[in-house]
Structure 1
């Protein structure tokens, strides 16, 4: 009854609440006799004093005569925020951030060959050839259609948004790629490792400068930059410049001025995957690279520290991003030599520090927990051991009674206590003296006896040793 009255009488607006002498506010719509009852109980408690807690009926206010306030009840139905509303409130600034298009104006593709390709794929002839397995499709023609239709640029744009490339490179800026970057790393046996949009390339595969091509007019000027978005070891929101060539004429990389020579990716061990982005800028005029005073083949990471946002902000009048390609890379064993001999530094390694699990002390028992009372001291010590050591010990015992053709040679002992005398010995009494009682002269401790019984019954750690025959090849068992 109390909760019902509180729901109907409670109002979330402070303008509808009136002062009450007992608690400071009164609830609009509540009955007078409810308020008078609450007021009488409050007066009774004030007379008794606040030196100690009231006992008896005075210390326990009946819920049927007291109306709970809003801070005791919590918000009503429909007032709590949903998970999506909480996330929107948490990332309000990020979601409402005004984004700026810093690229070229996006044009709709006039070439309808992509639509024509879909229409031709539904023809009966191609359908019949596909069913018969004789359909041949030229990948070069398909690639040309995807590029000319602009579908490849939409895929790059969506992938860059998904991986947060625009946000980490240009903050509030973004652009729609309009120039297709064809990037590939050379591998042994004339194999190539291409860079698409977020594919994984190992550091040993990206150790040598890649081959980069794009279509361009002869009088166009370009700038190519390769940066790592996640690899900086000391400064937050900063990058390492792995490669930078400015003032490129046409698509000839050799005609440009190399500001930074190529440096391979070096994600430290334990840091997961790092993003590496190629950005191709269209230049309106040549850029003065004399402001970079370092050597182009420097291996000093402090000199390689770079910010794409600051670089673009300083040259935004002459630069317009037009092409984008990026890949991911994580640690491999080839970086050990790179850190020691190229960067001349100790290889950094990162790992998570997990808190050790809480283990109840041996001398603390709870009589309600039957397992803790009957647990042996050896099982308590096993909680502090490496689980791999326990598994190794159990495996060795399993192999000791396993035949390669017959399987388990020990079998299962259904009643191990019936054979307790077979594996238990007693301390012999001196010659001529009365023998000791069996209860006080056992050589095998009780906890060891219990462990033997569990081992015989294939319980606890030894449950994995319960098998009758080995796994065999299905082809040989027929």
Structure 2
């Protein structure tokens, strides 16, 4: 039993954990009438949050660790678990192959590779040409093997998966390309800008209709579509139809019906790179879609609104995707005239307003390091582009295009730091000046010179890197 002392009911309640009508020998009658005795912990209890006399956290008692205060492991979900829960319905949808059966792409087993190596090493003429660096490789033959083996279609499929082409165009559908699309835009001086698997082509380079070709039988029917899943200005998730030709016989585009004439890319300012995908569909029979847009001076973007998933869902019995190629394009100043005169609209510009960085006052700037001068504080208020321009001009003055940095002290930039400590001579016949107060170059200027020589701070971009050279030209 616990005796009732100075602590009264507090100590007694720590010993009694039962409820009435249990009796305790020698207890008072008023105690037995209490239905339930509440346990009140003392201040020395470490199992709860410790507090002082004013109800605040006591600094004299241990504060529980985070695992004692927060929920246990597994209660809170990670970011990936929360995303999986949000997109659970989409993740549970099984992906469907809407194209033809996969062609090629089978990997050679280890025995076949070893057999090929043994046969190649037996060719003495080939080994001699490789050793003497006179071996020539027929790139046309390499490309032909790349296409016939199906590796080109595997590369296109992986690139489309990486850039989210299937997900944004066909949602849960995908297909393995089986037709090699050769697409190129004509440039000046008989130059061409080919379309591969996500390469960058500027809007000015894609201003005219490209040349498209593929292998086909004479009696096959095709539909070619060029769409932009990132360029719609009004509707979220919608696309713009940049080009559509249906009922193409063989590989002759002139034999097809142009549903929508070609429209060049027009990614607005500040929106980054936009994807533009060419999709070639194999037709079972002829289809009639009418005319969406004809060649004219101005273009109505509302009529160009397109959705690849809805288009394929409507004609999936007659169309099967077989070829794919895509490129990326971003804004350039030439599009300003295109927006005003062709699209007949104001040029949209998307800009992010960056908040101004916090800069400490100048009287706090020198508080820690006296060597830093007032010029560094003023540089924080300047446009960084102006500083980069000055640094670039200084770099070009002492940089050779092939030899690199021509300054002699670059290997040991601080080897002659003592030369910066020269002091002014004292008056003739009088006491010499205090050396700490008579430097010809002040401390802040010495700090700036050493930082430039050490290529630190603003001058990190002046570090010269060796140019890539042809191994045959290296002495």
Shared fold (TM-score, shorter chain, > 0.5): yes
Decide whether the 8 Å contact of 1:109 with 1:148 is kept in 2.
no
Pair 225,387 (structure 1): closer, same or farther in 2 beyond 3 Å: closer
Decide whether the 8 Å contact of 2:267 with 2:274 is kept in 1.
yes
- Deviation of residue 41 (structure 1)? 2.9
Decide whether the 8 Å contact of 1:219 with 1:250 is kept in 2.
yes
Q: What are the equivalent positions in structure 2 for 1:231-270 lying under 5 Å apart?
A: 231-270=231-270
Alpha-carbon distance in 2 for matches of 1:148, 1:124: 26
Alpha-carbon distance in 2 for matches of 1:79, 1:420: 77
What is the SS of the residue equivalent to 1:240? strand
What is the SS of the residue equivalent to 1:302? helix
Provide the residue aligned with 2:305 in structure 1: 305
Pair 244,393 (structure 1): closer, same or farther in 2 beyond 3 Å: closer
Q: What are the equivalent positions in structure 2 for 1:172-183 lying under 5 Å apart?
A: 172-183=172-183
Pair 340,67 (structure 1): closer, same or farther in 2 beyond 3 Å: closer
Q: What are the equivalent positions in structure 2 for 1:61-72 lying under 5 Å apart?
A: 72=69
Unaligned runs of 5+ in 1: 1-19, 22-35, 45-52, 398-404, 422-451, 472-478
Alpha-carbon distance in 2 for matches of 1:311, 1:187: 32
- Deviation of residue 285 (structure 1)? 1.5
Alpha-carbon distance in 2 for matches of 1:182, 1:41: 83
What is the SS of the residue equivalent to 2:309? helix
Provide the residue aligned with 1:137 in structure 2: 137
What is the SS of the residue equivalent to 1:259? strand
Alpha-carbon distance in 2 for matches of 1:62, 1:406: 63
Decide whether the 8 Å contact of 1:224 with 1:281 is kept in 2.
yes
**TM-score, length of structure 1 as denominator length:** 0.65
Decide whether the 8 Å contact of 2:371 with 2:443 is kept in 1.
no
Decide whether the 8 Å contact of 1:180 with 1:214 is kept in 2.
yes
Provide the residue aligned with 2:215 in structure 1: 215
CA RMSD after TM alignment? 4.8
What is the SS of the residue equivalent to 2:339? helix
**2:120 pairs with 1:122:** yes
Provide the residue aligned with 1:426 in structure 2: none
Pair 133,390 (structure 1): closer, same or farther in 2 beyond 3 Å: closer
- Deviation of residue 354 (structure 1)? 1.0
- Find the partner of 1:99 among 95, 119, 126: 95
- Deviation of residue 303 (structure 1)? 1.6
- Deviation of residue 350 (structure 1)? 2.5
What is the SS of the residue equivalent to 2:265? coil
Pair 185,71 (structure 1): closer, same or farther in 2 beyond 3 Å: same
**TM-score, length of structure 2 as denominator length:** 0.65
Unaligned runs of 5+ in 2: 1-16, 19-36, 46-50, 395-405, 409-417, 428-440, 456-462, 464-475
- Deviation of residue 163 (structure 1)? 0.5
Alpha-carbon distance in 2 for matches of 1:117, 1:68: 61
Decide whether the 8 Å contact of 2:293 with 2:304 is kept in 1.
no
Provide the residue aligned with 1:414 in structure 2: 421
